[in-house]
Amino acid sequence: MKTDKKTLAALIVSAALLVCAAALAIFELLAPAPEAMAGPPEESDSVTIELFAVGDNLMHGPLIKSGLGAEGYNFDGFYEHILPQLEGMDIKAINQETVFVSPDMGYTGYPTFGGPAEVGDALVKAGFNVIEQASNHSYDKREEGLRFTMDYWRSQPVTLLGVNSSAEDALRVDKFTKDGFTVALANYTYSLNGLAPPQGEEYLVNMMDDEARPAIAEQLARAKAESDLLVVFPHWGTEYDTEPDDFQRDWLKFFNENGADVIIGAHPHVLQTAEEYIGENGHKTVVFYSLGNFISNQDTLAKELGGMARVTLVKDDFGARVRDFSLEPCFTHVSGGKYTVYPLEDYTDELARTHSKLGGLTVQAIYDEFYRITGFETGKFRPERTPLTQPPAEERNIE
């Protein structure tokens, strides 16, 4: 019996398909596992810590006065517009520039600050849980004011940085831990405005000067040994200068060499830029040189503009690292004797027209100032989160 041409063609096609299928099966058996071909797998069993930080909570006299009502002091309104920014954050840090004092000590603003503890109540209510207290104003009210401040904060659900009740207390390593992922936190100030604790009580405030470098290096070594990552909050820089100075650059190098993964600076009362710094040893540090004022009574555009730092920290099978970071603007609004802080993305020209200190203000003018200071690309109303890069060290080192 003869096989017609159509039947023969069908048999040939079927045989070819069977050969292809067999070859594919053999290839799948012999090929390396997908992970081996694709490189490192996606993050598995990872833990993420979201860090949020703002700048100087600077309690000038008019701010204190604005919080006084029929039922006493209340400062919740200062922070009400920031609350959505804090949602989902783990570490929520603020530079508490000034100390608190008891009512019988009397509340004062510039130049020797001492405000009501109700400011702290508002911060805790807002959700801040890490307080940077080492500043050039830490000793404005001497030991009595500083110890009153420490006692207050230690009655609250916060981690207090930079000040110490005893020599033993000064040896502690402050940490934040989430699901086995530990981040060490440290805070130092360059000055106490010419004041100094009495002999034998130098431990009260963490200082950063050349004499203190060996002790700081030892403390940071212990912090690194007890944690996965290290965040340092230095009080440094030149007031009202939007450019980092030589002191900041020198201490950046020191902190980088001693293992800092993130640095978040305060003190200049104006915003400065942020970047990734890679040391000569190859260690990477994300540095926010200054977050500027968070809220204050200062009255120029640069001093009303602040920054909100966001950093994503991750720990997985490959270790712990900084995954990305961003710097976003915020702005102090003053009207009718009342003060509050807005994320700039929520501020409007209508609000700007009512600002009692800055006439003719527009939201675009504030953004322009933000971009001018930071050097970030203009036109982006919300800077993209910046993943860490690995450029040649010599291209990014700050001499």
pLDDT per position as a tens digit, 130-150: 999 999 999 999 999 999 999
What pLDDT does residue 359 have?
84
**Range of 258's domain?**
47-390
Q: Is the pLDDT of residue 393 over 90?
A: no
Q: Identify the DSSP state of 383.
A: P
pLDDT in tens, 288-328: 999 999 999 999 999 999 999 999 999 999 999 999 999 99
User: Cα(18)–Cα(113) distance, rounded to whole angstroms?
Assistant: 86
β-sheet bridge partners, residue 72:
69
**Percent of the chain having pLDDT more than 90?**
82
Distances in Å between the Cα of 209 and the Cα atoms of 171, 215, 244, 280, 301 are 18, 10, 17, 22, 32
79: left (phi over 0), alpha (psi -120 to 50) or beta: alpha
Q: Please give the residue that has the higher pLDDT: either 14 or 50.
A: 50
Residue 18 within a domain? no
Q: Is the pLDDT of residue 16 over 70?
A: no
CB 329 within 8 A of CB 306: yes
Which string of b and e fits 185-201 if b means at least 16 CB within 10 Å? bbbbbbbbeeeebeeee
Confidence of residue 237 (pLDDT cuts 50, 70, 90): very high
CB 159 within 8 A of CB 176: yes
Domain harbouring 271, CATH code = 3.60.21.10
Residue 129 within a domain? yes
Q: Is the pLDDT of residue 15 over 70?
A: no
Specify burial of residue 170 (Cβ count, 10 A radius: 0-12, 13-18, 19+).
middle
- Whose tokens are 């404005």? That residue is 140
pLDDT in tens, 62-110: 999 999 999 999 999 999 999 999 999 999 999 999 999 999 999 999 9
What pLDDT does residue 386 have?
53
pLDDT in tens, 184-228: 999 999 999 999 999 999 999 999 999 999 999 999 999 999 999
With the C-alpha atoms ordered 174, 268, 250, 146, is the resulting torsion angle positive or negative?
negative
- Residue 148: closest CA among 188, 112, 109, 120: 120
User: Cα(342)–Cα(125) distance, rounded to whole angstroms?
Assistant: 17
Q: Is the pLDDT of residue 13 over 50?
A: no
CB 277 within 8 A of CB 64: no
pLDDT in tens, 271-280: 999 999 999 9
Dihedral of the alpha carbons of 176, 127, 96, 167, in degrees to the nearest 10: -40
What 10-15 contacts at long range (C-beta under 8 Å, 24+ apart), as own/partner pairs, is: none
Distances in Å between the Cα of 294 and the Cα atoms of 14, 93, 143, 329, 375 are 75, 12, 26, 10, 20
Confidence of residue 4 (pLDDT cuts 50, 70, 90): low
Residue 6 within a domain? no
Residue 38 within a domain? no
Two structure tokens written together for 18: 């069977």
Q: Is the pLDDT of residue 27 over 60?
A: no
pLDDT in tens, 336-356: 999 999 999 999 999 999 999
What pLDDT does residue 319 have?
97
β-sheet bridge partners, residue 262:
231, 286
Rounded average pLDDT over 3-29: 47
Mean pLDDT, the chain, integer? 88
| Angle at 262 (CA atoms; ends 259, 313), nearest 5 degrees | 105
Which string of b and e fits 134-146 if b means at least 16 CB within 10 Å? bbbbbbbbeeebb
Residue 376 within a domain? yes
Residue 25 within a domain? no
What's the total number of domains in the chain?
Answer: 1
Q: Is the pLDDT of residue 30 over 50?
A: no
Q: Could you tell me the pTM of the whole model?
A: 0.85
Residue 219 within a domain? yes
Q: Is the pLDDT of residue 168 over 70?
A: yes
What pLDDT does residue 390 have?
34
Instruction: Name the strand (E) or helix (H) holding 37.
Output: helix 34-38
Residue 325 within a domain? yes
Q: Please give the residue that has the higher pLDDT: either 25 or 321.
A: 321
| Angle at 136 (CA atoms; ends 132, 142), nearest 5 degrees | 95
Rounded average pLDDT over 48-53: 98
